[in-house]
Amino acid sequence: MSDSLSDALAALEAEVRAACAAARDDNELRQTAARYLGVSGTLTRLLKRIPELPGPERKPFGQRVNAAKVAAEACVAQAHARLRAEARERELARPAADVTLPGRRRKVGRRHPIQRVLEEVVDTFVGLGFDVAEGPEAELSVNNFDRLGFPADHPAMDMHDSFFVADLDAAARVLLRTHTSTVQVREMLSHPPPVRVVAPGAVYRRDDDVTHSPMFFQLEGLLVDEGVTLSQLRGVLEAFLGRLLGEGVKTRFRASYFPFVEPGAELDVGCLLCRGEDASCRVCKGTGWLEILGCGMVDPVVFSNVGYDPERYTGFAFGMGIDRLAMLRYRVPDIRLLYENDPRFLASV
């Protein structure tokens, strides 16, 4: 092999060494390796030319180029190891995480006061022997009104009170239930007497002002059997309120009208926020009393509508506003606080 060829190969080897040493990252190194060792790299092309040489020159030339190729591969491998070591150095030089720093405190939510009272109320009635029933919030108008004995032209059916979902013909009209009394109807239609259930849930009315929210919560109660009396209704409600609000709580029944009970009454609880001593109390409006539920003896018309024998069975029903109870239970001075979901308020009750 000529001296000039030998020099040229030595120069090429030096060039490869320098290029590998200069590569600053994997990408540059890959390009360098391709330039000399790739399919059309300088060394690859030289090897491919061996067959063109005169016979005696082939072997020494081949050996020399091969040696250059092996050296080039070693250079690439070495550069690769160098880059890895450099990356590791950089990684270690970065400021280390301080594992002794305190963690970030997570804000843990809690159950909403309305939900808490609802669960407490349900538990109390379960303790008194009631089962829990549920009904849909989108309800047939027939179950919300007609079967409960509402006269066809009752003002509560007015478009202003109800959210109608599908205003089809009268038999299929659907609305967002305006009270949980719909579950009375559903329970009696699907179970023979005796019945003893409470039914909690959301109800909707087209009312939105400082003391009304278009969605609020009620809990319905229904007890039907032979020989049920009004004094039993009083006893159950007073036992319940004593357990929920404390034995000393004051109650008062006032005669009232609901189409599905006869006689009907409303029950007021002595205001626990001002104890009747503040004429400017916003919760009881200075009256000392807060109206929390409607109740009464199930009207025989309702029994007939659901296929119960009104001669044989009597029963009582009640429907209470859970929001009002939550206000009393947690001494909340303004009903809107319950729906604004201000975390500062929710953390305080």
Place of tokens 């061996």: 50
Q: Which of 317, 327, 332, 335 binds ligand PHE (CB under 6 A)?
A: 317
CB of 253 vs ligand PHE, minimal distance in Å: 12
Q: Is residue 203 helix, strand or coil? A: strand
CB of 296 vs ligand PHE, minimal distance in Å: 5
Which residues does residue 314 pair with via DSSP β-bridges, in sequence order?
225
Binding mask 60-99 for ligand PHE (x = CB under 6 A): ----------------------------------------
Count of residues in contact with ligand PHE, rule CB under 6 A: 11
CB of 179 vs ligand PHE, minimal distance in Å: 3
81 close to 89: Cβ distance less than 8 angstroms: no
Place of tokens 């008194």: 128
Q: What is the DSSP letter of 169?
A: S
* Complex with ligand PHE: residue 61 or 316, whichever CB lies closer: 316
Q: Pick the stretch among 58-66, 258-266, 299-307, 322-330 that binds ligand PHE (CB under 6 A).
A: 258-266
135 binds ligand PHE (CB under 6 A): no
* Complex with ligand PHE: residue 198 or 261, whichever CB lies closer: 261
CB of 320 vs ligand PHE, minimal distance in Å: 8
* Complex with ligand PHE: residue 198 or 295, whichever CB lies closer: 295
Q: Is residue 188 helix, strand or coil? A: helix
Is the Cα dihedral 266, 269, 273, 279 positive or negative? positive
| Pairwise CA distance, residues 206 & 283, whole Å | 22
188 binds ligand PHE (CB under 6 A): no
141 binds ligand PHE (CB under 6 A): no
Q: Which of 32, 42, 143, 181 binds ligand PHE (CB under 6 A)?
A: 181
315 binds ligand PHE (CB under 6 A): no
| Pairwise CA distance, residues 52 & 28, whole Å | 33
* 51 Cβ contact partners less than 8 Å away, ≥ 6 residues apart: 58
Measured in whole angstroms, the distance separating CA 173 from the mean position of its chain's CA atoms is 30
* Complex with ligand PHE: residue 16 or 203, whichever CB lies closer: 203
| Pairwise CA distance, residues 222 & 120, whole Å | 18
* Complex with ligand PHE: residue 197 or 261, whichever CB lies closer: 261
| Pairwise CA distance, residues 293 & 287, whole Å | 17
Q: Is residue 268 helix, strand or coil? A: strand
CB of 255 vs ligand PHE, minimal distance in Å: 12
| Pairwise CA distance, residues 91 & 97, whole Å | 12
189 close to 195: Cβ distance less than 8 angstroms: no
295 binds ligand PHE (CB under 6 A): yes
261 binds ligand PHE (CB under 6 A): yes
Q: Pick the stretch among 6-14, 36-44, 239-247, 314-322 that binds ligand PHE (CB under 6 A).
A: 314-322
201 binds ligand PHE (CB under 6 A): no
Q: Pick the stretch among 23-31, 53-61, 114-122, 290-298 that binds ligand PHE (CB under 6 A).
A: 290-298
179 binds ligand PHE (CB under 6 A): yes
Cis ω before 192 (30° cut-off from 0): no
Place of tokens 């939510």: 109
Query: What 3 state SS string does 292-305 have?
Result: EEEEEEECHHHHHH
Site of interaction with ligand PHE (CB under 6 A): 179, 181, 258, 261, 264, 294-296, 317-319
